Structure 1
Amino acid sequence: MSDTATVLVVDDTPANVGVLLEALGDAGHEVLVAESGQSALAQLQHATPDLILLDVMMPGLDGFETCRRLKQNAKWRSIPVLFMTALDEPAQKVRAFDEGAVDYIVKPFFEQEVLARVKTHLELLSLRRNLEDELALRIDAENQLAKSLDRAVIITDARGMVVFTTRLAESLLHRHCDDYQTAGELPASLRRPDSGLTLRRFTESGRDDLSFFVLEEKAPSPNPSALLALGLTSREAEVLWWIAQGKSNPDIATILGAGVRTIHKHVENIFRKLGCETRAAAAVTAQEALRPGGIATN
């Protein structure tokens, strides 16, 4: 996260709002304002701030109830909330933390104290997000390793539903079968004579609860491994491959069995390594590497 952020100020006292607008604005932050708890919850439907400064004593929904409601929503739960209160009673402070606040500021507040607390909690938020991204990448790498068989293997259950695919099989199915649905049945297009894939079934005597299949391309085409020559990891090469096929990040997340946020992180790394700023530029670089005689020679 950069040094600047979006801060939502929820307070029904214009004088307080004016002071905070000026102080936070001078510090480079974008400031959103809500005059009530109901207004704050409505604003969150359209914009997600990085941090919320929330007054306790307000008509209608007070700060405690407003905080409780926003923490019930998974989309807003991770937003740091700092209570602003004229109450200095221990019980009120404890309740603030019980409702999900990370800190509180006692009124009348000092501008420098507000800015210092905001800065601290934005830094903590940035660290937490970085740790979450790192953890997601590690989990994705472990999942990738667990499915890193170099054969295109599919296993179906007694109903014919796909229960396991290696990464290569998943890639081939998405590439050649428009009717393939992840975790569904084997696509009907596999049985057509013009299918680009050959499907071989292996059985075990006396066992019919699982079926084991191996896929092979009839005419092998360039694959993500050709993009490794660009200095990418194997997972980044897969992501770039699907970018070159015109897939969105949510589509790629579904195809690769990863989280959308993890794919976003891979795309950031790909752009950095390739020196690209747009998906179109990255796709052109991938297509150049994949064409016959391109920079990749797999």
Structure 2
Amino acid sequence: MSISPNSEYILVVDDVPANLKVIVQTLGDEGYEVSTAISGERALKQISYDLPDLILLDIQMPGIDGFETCKRLKENPQTKDIPIIFMTALSDSESIVKGFTLGAVDYITKPFQVVEVLARVKTHIHLQQLRNNLEKEVAKKTNQLTQALEELQTSQTQLIEKEKMSALGELMAGIAHELNNPIGAISNNSQHLENYIKDILHFLFLYQKYYPNPAEEIIENAEHIDLDFLIEDLPNLITSMKAGSERIKFLSTSLRTFSRNELNNDQKVSCVVHNHIDSTLLILNHRLKANKYRSAIEVVKKYGDMPEIKCFPGQLAQVFMNLISNAIDAIDEFVKKTEFYKFKFQPQITIYSRINQDKTGVIIRIKDNGVGMSEEVKAKIFDKLFTTKAVEKGTGLGLSIAYKIMVKNHGGKLWCESTLGHGSEFILELPIG
């Protein structure tokens, strides 16, 4: 029969038509929607497609009795919470206890007393409504608490990141500032030094040309200081000093880029992606060197021709720092787990770059031959606070922040391809404009 969604629906199960008639008329007069079944089997079938709010269940029936019907209903997750009231002519305490043990909430004795039937039905309908309302309220409060917790975690993550980047930015900016003066002095003076030495050497050559027979003391001193070697090696020293000063200047520039405070700046600037990757590699160079477990990590650059892009340089540098650091961690973990240092294993990070097919963005791929990830881990790596590292190795914020920077701040994409034991590859896609 059709059941109104605004009234309580009661199923009455009894094999005696006279009993059904009395109960149906009594409950119908009170406004309840009533359906009937003449056996436990029919009741179970009917309930499978139309769940009642309450069941009145006779104990003594042919086929499966009321006890067995109740047992099956309570074993089914879909019907286990429907309140069941037994209808019985049995008044022995053992049957009553058995009914309650199986999960019944109450019982009505035959012959029926109308007042008693209605009182018990109304009570348990009301209790069921209270339970349903309570469950809804609990679910609502749980959902609110979950949302509040997520918002709190997001706020904490942003606060931690803001403070961390602010402190790190101030530190790096300070270091870069302190490096500027000595770098400038070394860089500027190395050129003057090179010119002075060229002049002195030319002056010395003139002396040797016009005074080929020096005094004995001069000859002995020239041999003592190995004058020929000094003359040959001095240009090499100057070249090395100039290269070193240029490297320090590049490192200083890299530190300033990484320390840029863009938290309150919504203006993107043009930048060359390859420069930021190279800056990151320079800052992480000490971690790429050989250690007691492995040889030096080989960095293979497969850069394609790419235009400048509009971005937040400091944030982009942070993403590269995180991904390349993770690649180094993955290689170190792989080597330690597999003891590959006993064999010929060349740790490697390969960095690819190219323009995407429709020429609207650039793609950077950072691939390592480290430990790799399972499908379960890969599915969670961009979640806030998820990490597979030990407590002292990280907070679990890095990849979630990198994802936010790429997707939310730059309108780009970040995803990962990885197989456990066969390395990982992180792919970034950034719009050009």
- The aligned counterpart of 2:362 is none
Amino acid at match of 2:403: V
Q: Using the alignment, how far apart are the partners of 2:7 and 2:136 within structure 1?
A: 20
- Structure 1, unmatched stretches of 5+, are 154-197, 221-298
- The aligned counterpart of 1:76 is 79
Shift of 1:214: 2.6
Q: Using the alignment, how far apart are the partners of 2:116 and 2:60 within structure 1?
A: 20
User: Does 2:137 align with 1:134?
Assistant: yes
Q: Secondary structure at the match of 2:403?
A: strand
- The aligned counterpart of 1:217 is 408
Name the structure, 1 or 2, with higher relative contact order (CA <8 Å, separation 6+): 1
- Structure 2, unmatched stretches of 5+, are 159-314, 331-387, 390-397, 412-433
Q: Is the 8 A contact 1:8 1:49 kept in 2?
A: yes
Q: Is the 8 A contact 1:9 1:31 kept in 2?
A: yes
Q: Using the alignment, how far apart are the partners of 1:48 and 1:3 within structure 2?
A: 14
Q: TM-score, normalised by structure 1?
A: 0.54
- The aligned counterpart of 1:86 is 89
- The aligned counterpart of 1:99 is 102
Q: Using the alignment, how far apart are the partners of 2:106 and 2:85 within structure 1?
A: 5
- The aligned counterpart of 1:53 is 56
User: Does 2:47 align with 1:44?
Assistant: yes
Q: Using the alignment, how far apart are the partners of 2:25 and 2:410 within structure 1?
A: 66
Identity of aligned residues (%): 45
Instruction: Indicate the structure (1 or 2) with the bigger Cα radius of gyration.
Output: 2
Q: How many residues align?
A: 175
Q: Is the 8 A contact 1:84 1:107 kept in 2?
A: yes
5 Å-filtered alignment, 1:1-298, equals 4-148=7-151, 149=154, 200=319, 202-203=322-323, 207-208=329-330, 209=388, 212=399, 213-215=402-404, 216-217=407-408
Higher helix share goes to which structure? 2
Shift of 1:151: 9.6
Bigger drift between 106-115 and 206-215 goes to 206-215
- The aligned counterpart of 1:194 is none
Q: Using the alignment, how far apart are the partners of 1:152 and 1:40 within structure 2?
A: 55
Q: Is the 8 A contact 1:6 1:51 kept in 2?
A: yes
Q: Using the alignment, how far apart are the partners of 2:7 and 2:122 within structure 1?
A: 9
Q: Using the alignment, how far apart are the partners of 1:99 and 1:42 within structure 2?
A: 20
Runs of 4+ in 1 over 2 A off after TM superposition: 150-153, 198-211, 213-220
Amino acid at match of 2:9: T
What are the Cα deviations for residues 77-136 of structure 1, in whole angstroms up to 9, with x where unaligned?
110000000000000000000111000001111112111100000110011111111111
Shift of 1:217: 3.4
Q: Secondary structure at the match of 1:8?
A: strand
Aligned-residue CA RMSD in angstroms? 2.7
Q: Is the 8 A contact 1:70 1:76 kept in 2?
A: yes
What are the Cα deviations for residues 146-168 of structure 1, in whole angstroms up to 9, with x where unaligned?
22115999xxxxxxxxxxxxxxx
